[in-house]
A and B are shown apart, each in its own frame.
Chain A
Amino acid sequence: MAKTKRLLSLLGLAAASGLVLSGCATQTTTDSATTDSADGGTSSTEEQKVLQFWAFGDMGLGDLIAEYEAANPDIKINMKVSDFDPHHQGLLTSLDSAAPDIAAIEVGYSSLFKAVAAKFVDMREFGAEALEDDYLDWRWAQGVDLEGRVFGIPTDVGPMTICYRSDLFAAAGLPTDRDEVSALWPTWEDFIATGEKYVAATGDSFLSSTGYVWNAVKNQSDEKFYSADGSTLVYDTNPQIKKAWDLSVAATPISANIGDWTADWNAGMNNGAYAVLTCPAWMMGYIQSQAPDLGGSWDVATMPEGGGNWGGSQLTIPARAQYPAEAAAFITWVLSAENQQKLFEKSGQFPSTVAAYESESLLSFESEYFSNAPVGEIYATGVTQLVPLYEGPKERVIDQEFGAALGRIANGDQTPGEAYESAIENIKRDVG
């Protein structure tokens, strides 16, 4: 018995050592006074309300959160950042039990969550109707269910361009000026031909993966996997999808087969493993954060065959949130036209608030990092060209299957024909 007791105290001792290790470094953190999402839920005092905020990326909100917390000392915002799919899946399974106060839902998942919109706070309770006119119609509609419940307020929009490494272009003997680069690829075929030239000249890959062509082309239409009214599935008949598929397959030889959001992908932004990325506005912030030393090497050109949207989220309040009113106040504040514009200038997410598109300061904004490209004007033009695109409930499932099929081609596991067939077969089985 005594021995067992000793053993139990040993267990305690062992765990305490871990605490000491992590504790002494917490000290270091507070000393350097960074964004203080570090303290977890432990240091909340009685009058302080801690809002739990779940997202699939830090969304570049650090500064704005700090500003909000400074102005509202009784509020503290804790962000939990997860991977893209696990975030949405975890949120869906948590809605009945452990929901946060604020949750981001990406547009690809918006229709899935519309089916359970009743499990979210209807933001009309907090006067959301008055905000409707501030936002792009189709972005606003992605946060409204069939019965008119407003379960989410739009964050940014993702009009796309092509981000390219002008230094690598120069080394490959390609033009570097953004207008000349844009002129290289009026069509996607031209884009791929340019890539082939680049690969021939350098021996390196042009794209990180064929998924970038896929993501761009499939979004350059008013229909994707579902018909525009959402009534039928058209993933196997829509000519735009077929086109996106064929172009992606054609891009296989110029692609490096590096998975997105992996360590290798991040490293590739620095080390030239690839030279271009299809670049929704928010991607600018990501590139800057991953390759901070390459300012002036990256630049922005237009995308072949016009614009297209990739990404954007709604911020929602699950019905089981502890502090719905406080969450609503924060969401309305952080997604106001003024703050969305601030966010764009800092980390690239382009505002979904229409007032911003007329704003002199936004239109004249140039990004120092992206070789002083007039990104404000570029993306503002891009956003006006966007046509609303319906995202259906099983959007993500379908996209995952196509994406995996492209990966199988890149790995050399399947021929394009086989990969397409197996993708269609899997989607038919899972979606209908």
Chain B
Amino acid sequence: MAKKAAVRSQKDQSSLRTRAIKNRQYIWLGLIAFFSVFPFYWMFVISSNNSAAINERPPAVIPGENFLTSVAQVNEIINFAVPLVNSLLVASVVAASQVFFSTLAGFAFAKLRFPGRNGLFVFVLATMMVPTGLGIIPFYLMMSNLGLINTLGSVILPGLTTAFGVFWMRQTIEGGVPDELIEAARIDGASNFRIYRSIVMPSIAPTAGVLGLFGFLAAWNDFMWPLLSLNSPENFTVQVAVRQLRSAYFVDYSIQMTGAFLATVPLLILFALVARRMVAGVMAGAIKG
């Protein structure tokens, strides 16, 4: 107690210094914020100006009036609504499936007793270290043999589960759902799935939601495999569509940038709505990692 008081009085003495530090911190944070946001702003500046304005010296730094024209030009090359719908579909299915399978497996690992439980869980952790991207050649051959190349299924299937999700949900359920609650339900004759549905899920819903969000983002932004698999415009996801804009003979930054912007706006809006929970999610994942 005495210690704390001493610290406090020392803090008062150096309050001038603290204020200077505080101001400096605001400046640094402001700078970081500027660098974080600037590329997004720049995307819009370029997409709303024509090529001539972009190539001027000094370059245009203020949004122009050309945005809708650029969007129309993008739509002439690829009807951008199609990849947006595809990406929404893929990312939603992946998010929902990751939440379902991760919470289910997490529940089993945290609360159910079955043979090999610990060994299997260590195995889940180990899979996070496997560089699965390096199996791309056989993966491609396999998908090709299954006739799944150029289908949305080919990009959904490999994303249905996630080791990180299983791990995270196990930690969350272990600490967040009291054993007594589960025991009480058992005595009432509830089945395991019933327990999962009416006790486990409601108590971890916020964290599970953030997991779904991460799954959604990852699927929305996935690029390497969709680029190889999805060949027809009607099956493009947004990332493949943005890449495709580069290839239209007339290389034009305002068109490319408009595509990138259209592919990003949904995420920005989403982020604006749930930023607080995402920050909490990233930080929560960290402590346990």
| A–B contact via C-beta, under 8 angstroms | yes
Question: Which residues on A are within 8 Å of B, measured CB to CB?
Answer: 1-4, 7-8, 10-15, 17-19, 21-26, 28-29, 32, 34-35, 37-42, 52, 54, 57-58, 78, 80-83, 86-87, 90, 93-94, 96-98, 100, 261-263, 266-267, 286, 289-290
| Chain A residues in 8 Å Cβ range of B92 | 8, 11-12
Contact of B96 with A8 in the complex, beta carbons under 8 Å: yes
Complex contact B234–A21 (CB within 8 A): no
In-complex Cβ contact of A37 among B69, B76, B270 (8 A): B76
CB atoms of B75 and A3 under 8 A apart: no
With contacts A97-B149, A263-B253 known, is A82 near B247, CB below 8 A?
Answer: yes
Pairs of residues from A and B, 10 with the lowest C-beta to C-beta distance, nearest first: A98-B150, A40-B79, A25-B71, A15-B88, A14-B270, A22-B80, A97-B149, A14-B266, A41-B234, A83-B247
21 contacts between A and B (CB under 8 A): A1-B205, A4-B208, A7-B213, A8-B212, A11-B88, A15-B87, A22-B75, A25-B71, A25-B74, A26-B72, A26-B75, A29-B75, A34-B76, A41-B233, A81-B247, A81-B249, A82-B247, A87-B247, A93-B228, A261-B251, A289-B250
Contact of B209 among A7, A12, A28 (CB under 8 A): A7
Q: Given A22-B81, A100-B232, does the pair A57, B201 have CB atoms closer than 8 Å?
A: no
Q: Encode B128-159 as 1/0 by CB contact (under 8 A) with A.
A: 00000000000010001001111100000000
B248: A residues at CB distance < 8 A: 58, 81
Which of chain A's residues has its CB closest to B78's CB? A40
- What distance in Å separates the Cβ of A182 from its nearest Cβ neighbour in chain B? 29
A11 touches B233 (CB 8 A): no
Asked whether A81 and B267 contact (CB < 8 A) given A3-B206, A8-B212, A29-B72, the answer is no
Which residue, B55, B144, B247, has most C-beta atoms of chain A within 10 A?
B247
* Contact residues in A for B244 (Cβ distance below 8 Å): 80, 82
- Expressed in whole angstroms, the minimum distance between the Cβ of B206 and any Cβ of chain A is 6
Q: What per-residue 1/0 map shows which CB atoms of B219-248 lie under 8 Å from chain A?
A: 000000000100111110000000010111
B109 sits at the interface (CB 8 A): no
Selected from B84, B91, B234, B274, the residue in CB contact (under 8 A) with A7 is B274
Q: Please report the C-alpha to C-alpha distance between residue A11 and residue B210 in the assembled complex, in whole angstroms.
A: 12
Count of residues in B whose CB is under 8 Å from the partner chain: 63
Chain A contacts for B84, CB-based, 8 A: 15, 18-19, 22
Asked whether B262 is an interface residue with its Cβ less than 8 Å from the other chain, the reply is yes
10 further A-B contacts with Cβ under 8 Å, apart from A22-B71, A32-B72, are A4-B209, A8-B96, A14-B267, A15-B84, A15-B266, A18-B263, A19-B84, A38-B79, A93-B144, A267-B55
- Is the Cβ of A40 less than 8 Å from the Cβ of B82? yes
A11 touches B232 (CB 8 A): no
**Interchain CA distance A83-B240 in the complex, whole Å:** 13
A23 near B81: Cβ-Cβ < 8 Å: yes
Asked if A52 contacts B80 (CB within 8 A), the reply is: no
> SS class of chain A's interface: helix, strand, loop or mixed?
helix
Q: Does B6 lie at the interface of the complex (its beta carbon under 8 Å from any beta carbon of A)?
A: no
The answer to whether A80 and B232 have CB atoms under 8 Å apart is yes
**CB within 8 Å for A42 and B96 given contacts A4-B205, A98-B232:** no
- CA of A18 to CA of B233, assembled, Å: 18
Instruction: Name the residue on B nearest A3 (C-beta).
Output: B205
Q: How far is the CB of B11 from chain A (nearest CB, A)?
A: 40
Q: Would you give the shortest CB distance from A82 to chain B, in whole angstroms?
A: 5
Distance of A97 Cα from B141 Cα, bound (Å): 12
Most A Cβ at <10 Å: residue of B95, B202, B209, B274: B209
Q: How far is the CA of A4 from the CA of B203 in the complex (A)?
A: 11
Partner of A58, one of B75, B216, B249, B265: B249
Check if A29 sits within 8 Å of B232, measured CB to CB.
no
Q: Nearest-CB distance from A159 to chain B (Å)?
A: 21
User: A83–B249 Cα gap in the complex (Å)?
Assistant: 8
Q: In the assembly, what is the distance between CA of A43 and CA of B216, in Å? A: 28
- Answer yes or no: B16 CB below 8 A from chain A CBs: no
**Does B270 contact A11, Cβ atoms closer than 8 Å?**
yes
| Chain B proximity of A98: nearest CB distance (Å) | 3
Query: Given A11-B216, A14-B267, A14-B269, A24 and B68 touching (CB < 8 A)?
Result: yes
Residue of A11, A25, A86, A97 near B75 (CB, 8 A) is: A25
List A contacts of B148 (CB < 8 A): 97
Pick the residue among B202, B205, B262 that contacts A21 (CB under 8 A): B262
Judged by a CB distance under 8 angstroms, whether B12 is at the interface is: no
Which residue from chain A places its CB closest to the CB of B261 in the assembled complex?
A21
CB pair A4 B99 closer than 8 Å: yes
Q: Does B27 contact A (CB under 8 A)?
A: no
Please tell me if B273 contacts chain A, counting CB pairs below 8 Å: yes
B85 contacts chain A at the CB level, 8 A cutoff: yes
Contacts of B76 in A (CB 8 A): 29, 34-35, 37-38
Residue of B nearest to A265 (CB): B251
B247 CB contacts on chain A under 8 angstroms: 81-83, 86-87
B150 A26 Cβ-Cβ under 8 A: no
